[in-house]
Structure 1
């Protein structure tokens, strides 16, 4: 079986892809480096045998391309401007927004939970609560049938 097939069966491989994507997107944001250079660097510096490499590349490649749309989906839910957010929180919200809008194969509760876990690991002390609130509001808005169906059960 290919590594790709194994990664689809292992949530840990997807989680690790999100973690590395967060770090790579943070680097892209802060250094304004080329996405393909960052991708190559991360693949050289990390053992991708336990990482969903396709998902990592998708997040790293697509989020910068869709930045205006993703930020536009997040910003109305914030209590401050996007520029006032900590860069880690901003990046986590962009990953969550991308998954909620583009990856309907990922349940909304997984998106929210993964955002919370990223914020706990990489963000400020209480940022996970903020990330949770924003992603929960976004999920209710963009995936209302899925959210309503879950809340009824």
Structure 2
């Protein structure tokens, strides 16, 4: 989340953001491969992920708070590319992040967007095949 926030605000390439986090004290606590893959894939696919945000949300990505956009980018990436993570886990974790770091009602928006996206990208898992 923090790395995507920094990437959005700084405009630095994902590799630079990754190196800054790799030098930090908390980096040892992370799943490094997941962090690196996520940061790389999300930033490289940000245009297509933003299209998904437009498709499933009422607010254009460029108008979203960077925290909320970051949460949604991670959630969409996990729904679309990480089938090993159950859709309910993706949505629940995103909602909890939005409650903790987002605006007052951002968790409701995050929940609605990811729920709609999960119907498209995880239909069989949801039983909506």
Q: Please give the TM-score of this superposition, normalised by the length of structure 2.
A: 0.92
Please report the RMSD computed on the Cα atoms of aligned residues, expressed in angstroms. Answer: 1.3
1:14-55, CA deviations, whole angstroms, 9 ceiling, x for partnerless residues?
xxxxxxxx1111111111012112111111113333221111
- Which stretches of structure 1, 4 residues or longer, exceed 3 Å deviation after superposition? none
Query: How far apart are the structure 2 equivalents of 1:97 and 1:140?
Result: 12
Aligned to 1:61: 40
Uncovered stretches (5+) of structure 1, i.e. residues with no partner: 1-21
Match of 1:49 among 14, 28, 46: 28
1:39-77, CA deviations, whole angstroms, 9 ceiling, x for partnerless residues?
111111133332211111111111111112111112111
Structure ID, larger Rg: 1
Q: Please give the TM-score of this superposition, normalised by the length of structure 1.
A: 0.79
Count of residue correspondences: 128
Contact 2:21 2:27 in 1 (8 A): no
1:90-140, CA deviations, whole angstroms, 9 ceiling, x for partnerless residues?
111111110000000000001001111111121112111110111011001
Match of 1:102 among 66, 70, 81: 81
Query: How far apart are the structure 2 equivalents of 1:48 and 1:120?
Result: 24
Query: How far apart are the structure 1 equivalents of 2:37 and 2:25?
Result: 17
Change (3 A) 1:121 1:46: farther
